[in-house]
Amino acid sequence: MTRSEPRFVDAILDWPGTWFLARLALVGAYLLGGIVKLTDWPAAVAEQAHFGMNPPYFWAALTIGIEIVGPLLILTGRLVWLGAGMLGVFTLFAAFTANAFWTMSAGQERFMATNAFFEHVGLIGGFVLVALVAERARRRA
């Protein structure tokens, strides 16, 4: 069977580091966010209060846990389905909480919230894909 992609694309896709770097690109913002929140607890609590989450201390702690544990599961290749599920549900919840564009009147704020909402949906698709790829690789091993 002949391949249709150029050789350099084939080489990139076959390189073992590509799988790790792709996962890091997907989860890096979450991991960094969790670390930043962990090192600035008052700001993490204030962020939750800003979005109306009560009690904000509980939601800040839960957010930090998800944003650190989920990426680590995906990056280490252990229980990838769980890490992807954690981050997918978290991202869906965040999209509805922080980007409720349907409640806004037309204008720049609604435009930006709409874009952010659907970017979150795209991330959720990425989490489903990383779980699928990891599961197929596990079954082949």
pLDDT in tens, 5-37: 888 988 898 898 999 999 999 999 999 999 999
2 pLDDT above the threshold of 90:
no
Q: Which two tokens stand for residue 9?
A: 């694309």
What does the pLDDT read at residue 18? 94
Q: Is the pLDDT of residue 119 over 90?
A: yes
Query: pLDDT band at residue 90, thresholds of 50, 70 and 90?
Result: very high
Section 92-106 average pLDDT: 93
- CA dist 44 and 61 (Å) reads 8
Torsions phi, psi for 85 (to 5 deg): -65, -45
Looking at residue 29, its pLDDT comes to 97
- Each residue's pLDDT tens digit, 44-83: 999 999 999 999 999 999 999 999 999 999 999 999 999 9
Q: In the prediction, which pLDDT does 1 show?
A: 60
CA distances for 115 relative to 8, 41, 58, 103, 111, angstroms: 33, 29, 28, 14, 6
